[in-house]
Structure 1
Amino acid sequence: MLFTHILALGIPCIVALVVASGLTRRRVYPLPLPPGPRPLPFLGNALQLDTKRPWLTYTAWGKTYGKIIHSRILGIDLIIINSETIARELLDKRSANYSTRPVIRTNKLSGLAFNTVLLPYGETLRQHRKIFHQVLRAEVSVSYHEMYSRHANQLAINLLNATSDLQQHTRAYTASLIMAVTYGHLAHGHEDSLLTRVHELVDIGRYIISPEKAAIFTAFPFLEKLPFWCFGGAFALIGRCRELCQQLLNEPFSEVKTQMANGTASHSLVADFLSQAHDDADEDTMKAVALTTFLMAMVLYPDVQARARAEIDQVMRHDRMPCLDDRASLPYLDAILLEVLRWYPIIPLGVPHATTNDDIYGGYFIPKGAIVMVNQWTLSRDEDMFSDASRFDPSRHLTVYGKLKDPFVNHFAFGHGRRICPGRWFAENSLWTAAATILAVMRIDHAKDSNGNTIEVKPEFTAGLVM
């Protein structure tokens, strides 16, 4: 375990810090903190935490301590929200106090601090979101429908021709679509150099930017002076992560500038931006906004798949492919995608928020600077909201009349308050188009072994910030 490794590196330091923490006067709070497990001196609850899948620990604690709980890891206060109602009460209705991000040292060390999602609340973030709003708001996102369809058709062809590792094609679809819209970059298959580096960056980043892991560097700043290979695992790749960030920020951006000078640039977000007058600071902002990755997951049960295909076949009566113009007539497909996001949340603990000032909720004190996380895993398993929650059932998102209960973009997977995902319309449209195309042209079934017997599938998911 990571914490065990760090403990082995710094036992003398920890002993000194534990003694010092006992001599330091604790802040006196006017009200009790939210309930939670009893912490050890300085270490807090670090040794009680499943560092690979902390959302499971927080879910178990929630059954004992309630819908809002307090934990402390190496001196850092964590507030974990296990309720959609509380998440909206705090992050939506009190967004002025819950819209910044915690200072996570691994973000800067790995070169990821530029990312819009990770920025603290302030002027730079407002510039980023303004650009996002201009190019990815609902009405503009729909205008990319031809590009969605073209990439989705290629995805279907790639899946039909695939002999192994279907995931490489779904990942390539997501990344290539983003690169096309952002830079006008036409990817050359899943082995495209830019896409390969994007995937490598995502794979590294999802393991090293969680608050639980970053707490180590906050508690022990001297660790930053050590070579990262000392820590093993993903931390050893921090230098590589920093290198990839610089490459992906600068290379495609410079390529668009060169193409514009030569008169060969395709229509893209960056080309549109550069065609207007902006200063260098704005150009750096644009680079940061450009590097975004949307992750897609789709798991279909045979009966669900059959119902979705029947819906598509009923609407597509003129031997054509479904497109976004048909979306209102295909509510069950939307319900499938809502259930995909709920069934196994892609980011099980969301992206952490932080409090700007002290706050009080339900008689509990929430201190300034606390890290606030919405446990999306617990929300997805709330039996009051989703009966038989472990079952994949798109019908739970439909009314008795077959209409969607809630808009897709309101799903908790897109976050809360002022930090809700500004690219959610683009994400849902691209996901919807891919799903519609796949279901319209192919049937998804179990593989067979050499004897013709069905090969059973056991769902397994990675750990980290992204599951």
Structure 2
Amino acid sequence: MDPTTASICIGLAPALALGIWLGNRRNSASFRPAPLPPGPKGLPIVGSTFSIDSTNPGWTFIEWEQEYGEIVHCQYFGRDVIILNSKHIAEDLLERRSRIYSDRAGYSALASYGILFDTAMIPYGDEWRTHRKLYKQIMRQTAVPTYHTAFASNACKLVSDLTALPDRYPSHLDSYSAGNIMHVVCGQEIEDRDEVVGLVARTAERFVRITADRFVATVNVFPFLKYIPSWLPGGIFNALDSMKLNESLGRVLHRLLSQQDADGNFLLRQLKEHVEEDIIQRSVKDVCTTSFVAGLD
């Protein structure tokens, strides 16, 4: 390359770079998302978390509506939150345009805790519809009368247990709830009820703690907390222990379900008739686990 050509290239390089930068900026501006609704500024990291009345957040939202309008944006531990203070707007967005705006809150940060089996955590889609189909079969109105005899038997057992050992009423109530759920899900009584009740109770207790707003928000902002050993300060955020507990419960319930008679059990029939369909196999196990955890919650 001769000196003249080299000089021209060197001179054009800054202009070319500037042109590319301006072009990229123009393109990025054209795809820039719409501005968020007005709302309180908040603090770094925590946002407006501590500005919200934890006992009655509705009062805070009413105050914000008067200041910012019917649609308010705030940050909650780093997460953008849109608050709809109008019934009309909520119906318009979440019902009439539900395919666009209506969905479950994102719990991806909790995947390592093994709690995404719960129906309430699943986003709308094929798996959620499969869950709904299974629930509809085992809890439909026409199926309820078939459970009356078992429910009455469990009620009699509850009265007997309360009479014999009234001080242990919390465990009696858990056993009563588990007995009813066992009949709905498994189709009959299970001998190892106490073992299952203890495991479900521990899972339910941990589930409630993990899904609390503050817990989720903290893990979203500080994901490294999931790896703190349970025996160290801050170990309540440890994910591995929760994963093992939830997997253990899933295996126990799957084993108990598999021991039942397929002819009288809708869920077990689904397992045997759809052996190669992963979504059915997973959904049956998750519906069983969700039912037990919800029953003892």
* TM-score grouping bracket, smaller chain normalisation: 0.7 to 0.9
CA distance change for structure 1 residues 114 and 294 in 2, over 3 Å: closer, same or farther?
A: closer
Q: Give the equivalent residue in structure 2 for 1:241.
A: 242
Tell me, yes or no, if structure 1 residue 204 matches structure 2 residue 217.
no
CA distance change for structure 1 residues 265 and 62 in 2, over 3 Å: closer, same or farther?
A: same
Tell me, yes or no, if structure 1 residue 111 matches structure 2 residue 114.
yes
Is residue 225–residue 234 contact of structure 2 (8 Å, CA) maintained in 1?
no
Pairing of 1:280-359 with structure 2 (within 5 A):
280-281=277-278, 282-291=280-289, 292=291, 293-295=293-295
Q: Give the equivalent residue in structure 2 for 1:60.
A: 59
| TM-score, normalised via structure 1 length | 0.48
Secondary structure of residue in 1 paired with 2:114? coil
Q: Distance in 2 between matches of 1:122 and 1:265?
A: 28
Q: Distance in 2 between matches of 1:140 and 1:275?
A: 21
Q: Distance in 2 between matches of 1:85 and 1:153?
A: 48
CA distance change for structure 1 residues 147 and 97 in 2, over 3 Å: closer, same or farther?
A: farther
Q: Which has the larger radius of gyration?
A: 2
CA distance change for structure 1 residues 229 and 216 in 2, over 3 Å: closer, same or farther?
A: farther
| TM-score, normalised via structure 2 length | 0.72
Is residue 114–residue 246 contact of structure 2 (8 Å, CA) maintained in 1?
yes
More helix by share: 2
Q: Give the equivalent residue in structure 1 for 2:265.
A: 268
Tell me, yes or no, if structure 1 residue 126 matches structure 2 residue 121.
no
Following TM superposition, where does structure 1 have runs of at least 4 consecutive aligned residues deviating by more than 4 angstroms?
80-90, 187-190, 228-231
Unmatched segments (≥5 aa) in structure 2: 1-28
CA distance change for structure 1 residues 31 and 119 in 2, over 3 Å: closer, same or farther?
A: closer
Q: Distance in 2 between matches of 1:149 and 1:181?
A: 13
Deviation at 1:69, TM superposition (A): 4.5
Is residue 74–residue 215 contact of structure 1 (8 Å, CA) maintained in 2?
yes
Is residue 38–residue 45 contact of structure 1 (8 Å, CA) maintained in 2?
yes
Q: Distance in 1 between matches of 2:232 and 2:90?
A: 38
CA distance change for structure 1 residues 133 and 278 in 2, over 3 Å: closer, same or farther?
A: farther
Q: Give the equivalent residue in structure 1 for 2:75.
A: 72
Which of 123, 128, 146 is 2:149 aligned to? 146
Q: Percent same amino acid at aligned positions?
A: 27
Q: For this pair of structures, how many residues does the alignment match? A: 260
Deviation at 1:131, TM superposition (A): 1.8
Identify which of structures 1 and 2 has the higher relative contact order when contacts are C-alpha pairs closer than 8 Å and 6+ apart: 1
CA distance change for structure 1 residues 160 and 275 in 2, over 3 Å: closer, same or farther?
A: same
Is residue 106–residue 209 contact of structure 1 (8 Å, CA) maintained in 2?
no
CA distance change for structure 1 residues 128 and 295 in 2, over 3 Å: closer, same or farther?
A: closer
Partner amino acid, structure 2, of 1:62: F
Is residue 116–residue 289 contact of structure 1 (8 Å, CA) maintained in 2?
yes
Deviation at 1:44, TM superposition (A): 0.8
CA distance change for structure 1 residues 100 and 142 in 2, over 3 Å: closer, same or farther?
A: farther
User: Superposition RMSD on alpha carbons, in Å?
Assistant: 3.3
Secondary structure of residue in 1 paired with 2:273? coil
Partner amino acid, structure 2, of 1:276: E
Deviation at 1:70, TM superposition (A): 3.4
Q: Distance in 2 between matches of 1:87 and 1:117?
A: 20
Secondary structure of residue in 2 paired with 1:112? coil
Any idea what the Cα deviations from partners look like across 1:152-192, whole Å, max 9, x if unmatched?
232233333342243322222222211222124625597x1
Unmatched segments (≥5 aa) in structure 1: 1-24, 297-465
Secondary structure of residue in 2 paired with 1:294? helix
CA distance change for structure 1 residues 48 and 188 in 2, over 3 Å: closer, same or farther?
A: farther
